[in-house]
Chains A and B, each alone.
Chain A
């Protein structure tokens, strides 16, 4: 009796596993069919719960961190003034850079059209670093377009529907970005290592002058995946292991990837 029951149990397990593997095999079409419906069902409830929890959370945060909020406000005002000055003085340099890059046929961020999008969800899974935005193919957003905001490169569009898109952040472990840094325009490739983790850098030979705090920009040369000149990150740690053929560099993303309420999608397709 007991072995028979055990066999039946294993057969049931096999049946359920077969169903789950079928879901995995069919994958894409099922997800695209069911996702819209599931989101439509869940969205009103999410809005209601957020409407209750958000003011409560913000009231507590405001009450306990009021002095901090005021200090941050003053800091932001100072930062804004500094950036306005910098932006005005950078106009001349940008014009020159655009002309130089145009000579080499490299696209420049400053001249490209953008679409502003709001972030719906952030980091839904612990295994991928992604956000979901409210602009999709109906707004001209396509797979492979770069996304910027919050001070630098945010990531790249990896999936689109008519009314939304998934953006894979530059910290995702699947991301590799060609960068340039230093006055001599040294080239390297930075890799994501997962949400909340710094970027890791490859292809920097020992002896290359690398300075902590130096900013890295997209090179525009990595098969045309990103236009040139998007700030990516700042060098945080450098280390050379004995006998190593390259410098080990840790890069902190410039964009604050934890506060991505709004982002800008650069309407630029790779290779264009």
Chain B
């Protein structure tokens, strides 16, 4: 990862925080709202593979944690794991904007958004925040899943060309990745 790619991830993380504070936080259901932090590792993982996905999870999670009252670094841990698993699918060309069907990336993002808050709550419980495993967790998972599914393609479209590693382009996936 070159410094410019890291810088783009920081900018993307801050942009997502702005959208979170101005739009997502205003649209709540049963007292909870969609957390957009998971969109970044999912979209970057699908567009640019595991390493970029994990970097996006780390940076996006750390930036988001600067604004949250929850333990600092927790979102980064979950972001790294989400970025890794989604990035593996991305490296196989699954969910690629150019080569896959329209619904594949949103479906994977839906799954990522569904599991990320659950993983977050479990990790929080492990480090002593058992109250995070609350009754509203189901609604949180649902909202995050929908937000990820809706936003993944636009974020991939904008961020993909900026963070995809040129060395990762060489190889059997070249025609697919080139479509970005």
Chain A residues within CB distance 8 Å of chain B: 9, 12-13, 16-17, 19-28, 30-31, 34-35, 38-39, 41-42, 45-46, 49-50, 53, 57, 121-130, 158-159, 166, 168, 171-174, 193-197, 258
A25 to B72, CA, bound (A): 8
A sample of 22 cross-chain residue pairs with beta-carbon separation below 8 angstroms, ordered by A number, consists of A12-B54, A16-B54, A20-B80, A22-B73, A23-B62, A35-B67, A42-B14, A45-B14, A49-B22, A53-B22, A53-B26, A123-B25, A123-B33, A124-B21, A124-B67, A126-B33, A126-B140, A127-B120, A194-B135, A196-B31, A196-B136, A258-B31
A34's nearest neighbour on chain B, judged by CB, is B66
Residues B70 and A127 in contact, CB atoms below 8 Å apart:
yes
Residues A173 and B134 in contact, CB atoms below 8 Å apart:
yes
Chain B nearest CB from A233 CB (Å) reads: 15
B80 contacts across to A, CB distance below 8 A: 13, 16-17, 19-20
B54's nearest neighbour on chain A, judged by CB, is A16
A16 contacts across to B, CB distance below 8 A: 54-55, 57-58, 80, 83-84
* B residues contacting the other copy or chain, number (CB 8 A): 55
B96: Cβ under 8 A from any A Cβ: no
B89: Cβ under 8 A from any A Cβ: no
| Interface of B: prevailing SS | helix
Residues A53 and B134 in contact, CB atoms below 8 Å apart:
no
Residues A194 and B63 in contact, CB atoms below 8 Å apart:
no
Residues A38 and B51 in contact, CB atoms below 8 Å apart:
no
Residues A196 and B61 in contact, CB atoms below 8 Å apart:
no
Given contact pairs A49-B18, A193-B135, A194-B136, A57 touches B26 in the complex (Cβ within 8 A):
yes
Residues A128 and B66 in contact, CB atoms below 8 Å apart:
no
A173 to B124, CA, bound (A): 13
Given contact pairs A12-B51, A49-B22, A23 touches B31 in the complex (Cβ within 8 A):
no
Return the 6 tightest CB-CB contacts between A and B, nearest first: A196-B31, A173-B131, A24-B73, A23-B73, A195-B31, A20-B76
Residues B18 and A125 in contact, CB atoms below 8 Å apart:
no
Chain B nearest CB from A45 CB (Å) reads: 5
Residues B35 and A126 in contact, CB atoms below 8 Å apart:
yes
Chain A nearest CB from B147 CB (Å) reads: 12
A41 contacts across to B, CB distance below 8 A: 14
Interface centre among A12, A20, A121 (most CB of B within 10 A): A20
Chain B nearest CB from A123 CB (Å) reads: 7
B32 contacts across to A, CB distance below 8 A: 123, 126, 195-196
Chain A nearest CB from B128 CB (Å) reads: 11
A125 to B17, CA, bound (A): 12
Residues A159 and B31 in contact, CB atoms below 8 Å apart:
no
* Proximity string of chain B (61-85) to chain A, C-beta cutoff 8 Å, 1 when within and 0 when not: 1110111111111101101110110
